[in-house]
């Protein structure tokens, strides 16, 4: 059993994760297909300065923001649904966001337009999935997950339809969104994504203490004065805002919102006042390292290419989650 959460423990855990995040960012800025000289990095006009500040830094910041969005949203969904399998990717939220973003590609919208379309797709998909999964006023976690899987398949079919009628350039953008990649298009996109993620992350952190009561059950939370309906609206809106912007910027990256909160919960406990921010920071550090591995692991081989970040997160996340699931089953 984890010790009771104190202010000192909260600060210590988050500072430790911030240090881990800083180390991951420094490592990702230092490694790549081309080595850079530390003395030239801070000299404007040099090749090393251009590589670090124009290529690697936007990518590292993008990975951090997407990691925060996916991991913190995963912890929030798991709390409200009281289901350890709840995650933006599995629930269909990411699929709805991807459909919205990909439809906006066909209309030639900017990143802000794609983010708005992805947010609308994420929100609409969540409302639709909840409406279909609810029966007699109750929400079955199993039914919800099955509905999310079916909805993802439906969204993928619509995405393939859109892909069949767009131009080759737009088709490449759609492929980019489907495989999950972190090739930053510039600091402007990163800053816009940061505005969405910071807003959603702050809302989730503000709702964290109410999530502790929701984890006990809806009836118990209501008896303790929690407006469950309003809490769900705020949490789902905040999570959809972040997931929508993250999908518009990086495409579909799975498993970050599924297994990162589980690992943080094992180490730091189940108090969402710590779990939500800690999951966000841990997700940021993990995705930075996953992207660094994706762009360097094959660079010095005969293939000389980069892997999509979504491939690395799946290769790492799927076995990790299976191990966690197996560990939980042996305890029952």
β-strand pairing of 134-135 with 138-139: antiparallel
Check residue 255 and give left, alpha or beta (phi > 0: left; psi -120 to 50: alpha).
left
Query: Does 323 score more than 90 pLDDT?
Result: no
CA distance 85 to 121: 21
Query: Does 1 score more than 60 pLDDT?
Result: no
DSSP designation for 299: T
pLDDT for the residue numbered 136: 58
CA distances 240 to 13, 161, 172, 246, Å, are 27, 24, 25, 10
Return mean pLDDT, the chain.
Answer: 84
* Inter-residue contact 211 to 235 (CB < 8 Å): yes
Split at pLDDT 50, 70, 90, the class of 65 is very high
- The mean per-residue pLDDT over the stretch 130-134 comes to 73
CA distance 330 to 28: 37
Query: Does 231 score more than 80 pLDDT?
Result: yes
As beta bridge partners, residue 134 has 139
* Inter-residue contact 155 to 90 (CB < 8 Å): no
1 or 3, greater pLDDT: 3
pLDDT for the residue numbered 3: 63
Which range in 12-26, 83-97, 180-194, 238-252 is most confidently predicted, on average pLDDT?
Answer: 12-26
Check residue 230 and give left, alpha or beta (phi > 0: left; psi -120 to 50: alpha).
alpha
Summarize pLDDT for 258-267 with one digit per residue, the tens: 889 989 998 8
Query: Does 51 score more than 90 pLDDT?
Result: no
* Inter-residue contact 41 to 227 (CB < 8 Å): no
**C-alpha 94: how far from its chain's center?**
9
Question: 7-331 has which CATH code?
Answer: 1.10.3470.10
Q: Where are the domains of the chain?
A: 7-331
Split at pLDDT 50, 70, 90, the class of 156 is confident
Nearest to 152 by CA among 106, 249, 87: 87
pLDDT for the residue numbered 32: 76
Query: Does 21 score more than 90 pLDDT?
Result: yes
Query: Does 98 score more than 70 pLDDT?
Result: yes
DSSP designation for 52: I
**Rg of the chain taking only CA atoms, in angstroms:** 20
pLDDT for the residue numbered 135: 61
Query: Does 290 score more than 90 pLDDT?
Result: yes
**C-alpha 255: how far from its chain's center?**
8
Residue 138's H or E segment, with its range, is strand 138-139
39 or 148, greater pLDDT: 148
* Inter-residue contact 143 to 133 (CB < 8 Å): yes
CA distance 112 to 141: 33
Helix (H, G, I), strand (E, B) or coil at 239: helix
pLDDT for the residue numbered 278: 96
pLDDT for the residue numbered 141: 64
CA distances 70 to 74, 242, 302, Å, are 6, 8, 33
3-state SS of the chain: helix, strand, coil percent to 5? Answer: 80, 0, 20
CA distance 288 to 157: 31
CA distance 239 to 233: 10
Rounded-to-10 torsion of CA 13, 317, 186, 92: -100
Query: Does 281 score more than 90 pLDDT?
Result: yes
């Amino acid at each position: 059993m984890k010790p009771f959460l104190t202010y000192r423990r909260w600060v210590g855990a988050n500072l430790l994760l911030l240090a881990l995040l800083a180390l991951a960012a420094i490592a990702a800025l230092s490694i790549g297909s081309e080595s850079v000289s530390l003395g030239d990095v801070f000299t404007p006009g040099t090749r090393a300065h251009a590589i670090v500040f124009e290529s690697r830094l936007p990518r590292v910041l993008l990975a951090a923001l997407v990691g925060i969005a996916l991991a913190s949203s995963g912890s929030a969904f798991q709390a409200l649904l009281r289901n350890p399998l709840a995650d933006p990717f599995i629930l269909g939220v990411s699929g709805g966001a991807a459909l919205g973003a990909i439809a906006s590609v066909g209309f030639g919208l900017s990143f802000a337009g794609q983010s708005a379309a992805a947010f609308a797709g994420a929100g609409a998909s969540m409302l639709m999935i909840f409406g279909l999964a609810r029966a007699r006023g109750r929400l079955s976690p199993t039914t919800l997950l099955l509905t999310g899987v079916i909805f993802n398949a439906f969204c993928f079919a619509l995405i393939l339809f859109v892909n069949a009628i767009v131009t080759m350039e737009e088709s490449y953008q759609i492929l980019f969104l489907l495989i999950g990649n972190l090739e930053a298009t510039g600091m402007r996109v990163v800053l816009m994504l940061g505005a969405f993620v910071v807003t959603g992350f702050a809302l989730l952190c503000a709702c964290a203490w109410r999530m502790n009561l929701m984890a006990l059950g809806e009836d118990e939370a209501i008896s303790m004065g929690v407006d469950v309906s309003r809490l769900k609206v705020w949490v789902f809106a905040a999570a959809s805002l972040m997931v929508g912007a993250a999908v518009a910027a990086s495409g579909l990256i799975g498993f970050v919102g599924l297994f990162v909160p589980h690992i943080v919960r094992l180490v730091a406990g189940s108090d969402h006042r710590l779990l939500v921010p800690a999951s966000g920071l841990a997700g940021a550090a993990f995705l930075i390292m996953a992207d660094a591995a994706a762009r360097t692991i094959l660079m010095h081989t005969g293939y000389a290419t980069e892997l999509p970040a979504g491939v690395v997160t799946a290769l790492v996340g799927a076995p990790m989650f299976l191990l966690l699931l197996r560990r939980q089953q042996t305890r029952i």
